[in-house]
Structure 1
């Protein structure tokens, strides 16, 4: 009998982690030292790939009515349009970025978690933990001060940039601060020069100004404050914020009411391993970066989705458990490094202080970002639909138009990959696919064939990435691969125990 998973942190990453594990039947306890759920908006951008993955639990349908769909990103400099990035061309059922306050995203996730009988325990702090080959022993302190020791199979630390678990493990958080202070706020406003379906970034010689529309009369506004000092940055009052908007913005924008404001300093840091034994790091506990592109929460949620199905199979005694759990770091750390690099480039591009370089930037960006392939690459990275795992140790040698590790594009109104009550692979194709699904009912579910995989048996992971594709007559060549993921005690388990994962 498994002791389940302790999830430390009940923000969007921890809630996604708990929800994914719970719907896969893994016992979960999720705790957070804050006394109650936060009511600040914080992260507001939910990108297409995140919406695709949250659709597996049903959360996306509840989240969509709570946000504003933005289908274009305009970049302007010196009053002129540099480029307009078209998000409605993203190859996804959700070709837009949804602007929704983080508290709405968290509330939706909590409701879906509650439907599985689990609720986050606020006011419960993870004080310390020890681990060995058999599990993790955690010391917890409840809101009334009582301490207890609990045992779990694994600990997943989703406890933010100042992660207690990361410090306890002694893991370095390599990187540095960018040297600029920033302020942001959610404001009711008037005079925004674009429809609420379009965001805007104004490059200005004194610093960039960003508008993320959350409603026709409300937007998240972000701007820089200048070089960092020895003192922590302080959020601007509405009147001071208005002065910067007047100087750096398009003119005519009036901030009528401040809903929430904060100040921050950008750090670019990443831990060197997302796993230490039975402890895993996800979200800001593993990586922090510039908010340019609004990808922090999204990357963390996708960390959770990647890890959850692997922990679920490991908890069922899959022979491939060691490789499964190691693959989390192998796959997600490179993604995190890419997000840090890309968001840093965007920030540095927008904060150039040399006037000559600003002119060169505007000219080159206008030319390059006007090219369709460049637009697709930029938008695909922002939307995270271009994320893939080409070097994953879980990839099986494949044939067909897409390599193993590629995202399999979901189809609107079709059941999402991995949406069932167990961490099953999806198998698509002809007679071979049907025979595989019959032979491995605990591991596979048959799906209609993929249009770009005609004549092939395609095996899709529970998180929607291609594991393998082979010609239909060769479907049996995938059996050694599949056997590695069978639950302990299945009829083929003993025969499979010695098989090596194909592709390792």
Structure 2
């Protein structure tokens, strides 16, 4: 029986497939579209995702293809309200890696191919039925032929209109923001254009305009353009319309050489649970939100990484099935946080009352004068502060927190072909004996902790699972025993 059927070959499905393949899990990855994404769509890969790509083994290809943006600037009425510099991000990747989604998908497809797995194109999920220990799924191919397969797990990475989510009858609670937004992928000319290594936001009384740099000397402009009748959608914008908008809100530069001009609307929706039996959701199938902050694709890819090692350990019989119970609460909490932060940024930028706009600009000018505020803003955007303190897998002080790569003395946890926890203990001899008790769960060789007074177990996705004193061997043993595949 197939171990995993992944529906949807965007960045989330590709990330999940690559991780499961790396761990030796048999899978199929299907997508109803005949080709990968051809437009830029999601543009930024943040620091935490790059750290996780390091353990995936595909980081360098992304660094080579992307453009490094080193900060974000807020402007209004020709003056700068403040900066957020990314060089203070607590990561080796202290920048925003700007890379079009079509390139992200291309690189992930190439990475997936190194494991002998390819996307099955023009294959659509028609229906599925969950059974005892498996899912029966019916697929339709491009020629109309249908097949029914049995799989241990069905994972919906199939976007906002997810067939998997609809099949589970899960509510996608939330609402549309209401306004239309313009999107233009173009080139900028003129001395007044923002620097090519920063994200520039122009706050204007008519609505915000944001410029994102793209590799190859291109840029994306997005701007709020107001409400319209849903029954009569706006036609795609013209280059002249984009120029008029930028002249009014930003000024000082020309827009030329368009490759993509369109309108879109912001939706903020989310499920309340990411899994039901052996059917699981990840990415936009579970949560969609404002593009403010560029968190959407990163959050979805991190959903996939969180799920992959857990599903792999269960399928490989390294861990008890209950390990997977932690996926939904962990990523549900992160989804709530990201949706809330993105919504707040959008609400702040789209204030329409002139008095409120003036007060907002004064507050931003004041607050962004403090380095601590700038650093907090950058850390939130980079997702290095994502943590799981309330997870059922977190036990002890600092449990659930990211294990920063700078704290490592070897390869990142989880970077091998087998997902294993890593033990950090000052007493290496006792640590090796301890690891031998849990060969399915732990790397055999303990590593030295940066703080010799702690005993720490780090998860395969680089988060602290257990943290205790240097003598907390019994408690650490109890922690792993709960995860053991031998647990009744």
TM-score (ref. length: structure 2): 0.95
CA distance in 1, matches of 2:433, 2:471: 11
The 5 A counterparts of 1:259-270 are 259-270=259-270
Q: Secondary structure at the match of 1:469?
A: strand
State the Cα distance separating 1:413 from its structure 2 match. Answer: 9.4
CA distance in 2, matches of 1:81, 1:391: 39
Kept in 2: contact 1:44–1:99 (CA 8 A): yes
Answering whether residue 412 of structure 2 is matched by residue 416 of structure 1, we say yes
Which of 452, 455, 469 is the matching residue for 1:454?
452
CA distance in 2, matches of 1:325, 1:143: 34
State the Cα distance separating 1:371 from its structure 2 match. Answer: 2.3
Kept in 2: contact 1:68–1:99 (CA 8 A): yes
The 5 A counterparts of 1:378-457 are 378-396=377-395, 398-399=396-397, 403-411=398-406, 414-431=410-427, 432-445=430-443, 446=445, 448-451=447-450, 453-457=451-455
Structure 1 counterpart of 2:208: 208
Q: Secondary structure at the match of 2:483?
A: coil
Structure 1 counterpart of 2:188: 189
Kept in 2: contact 1:410–1:417 (CA 8 A): no
Structure 1 counterpart of 2:481: 483
The 5 A counterparts of 1:60-459 are 60-191=59-190, 193-215=193-215, 217-230=217-230, 231-249=232-250, 251-318=251-318, 320-322=320-322, 324-396=323-395, 398-399=396-397, 403-411=398-406, 414-431=410-427, 432-445=430-443, 446=445, 448-451=447-450, 453-459=451-457
Deviations 1:264-314 (A, max 9, x none): 110110012111111111111101110011111001001101111111111
Kept in 2: contact 1:59–1:112 (CA 8 A): yes
State the superposition RMSD in angstroms: 1.7
Q: Secondary structure at the match of 1:473?
A: coil
CA distance in 2, matches of 1:414, 1:87: 26
State the Cα distance separating 1:233 from its structure 2 match. Answer: 4.1
Deviations 1:166-210 (A, max 9, x none): 111111110011111001121122125333111100001111111
State the Cα distance separating 1:116 from its structure 2 match. Answer: 0.6
Structure 2 counterpart of 1:501: none
Runs of 4+ in 1 over 4 A off after TM superposition: none
State the Cα distance separating 1:319 from its structure 2 match. Answer: 5.3
The 5 A counterparts of 1:484-503 are 484-486=482-484, 488=485, 493=486, 497-498=487-488
| Structure 2: 5+ residue stretches without partners | none
Q: How many residues align?
A: 482
CA distance in 1, matches of 2:442, 2:210: 45
State the Cα distance separating 1:216 from its structure 2 match. Answer: 6.7
Which of 442, 461, 472 is the matching residue for 1:474?
472
TM-score (ref. length: structure 1): 0.92
| Change in 2 beyond 3 A, CA 1:471/1:413 | closer
Deviations 1:189-247 (A, max 9, x none): 21253331111000011111111111373111111111242233443121211110111
Deviations 1:47-90 (A, max 9, x none): 11111111111111111111110011000111111110011100
Q: Secondary structure at the match of 1:246?
A: helix
CA distance in 1, matches of 2:103, 2:473: 44
Kept in 2: contact 1:183–1:234 (CA 8 A): no
| Structure 1: 5+ residue stretches without partners | 499-504
Kept in 1: contact 2:155–2:280 (CA 8 A): yes
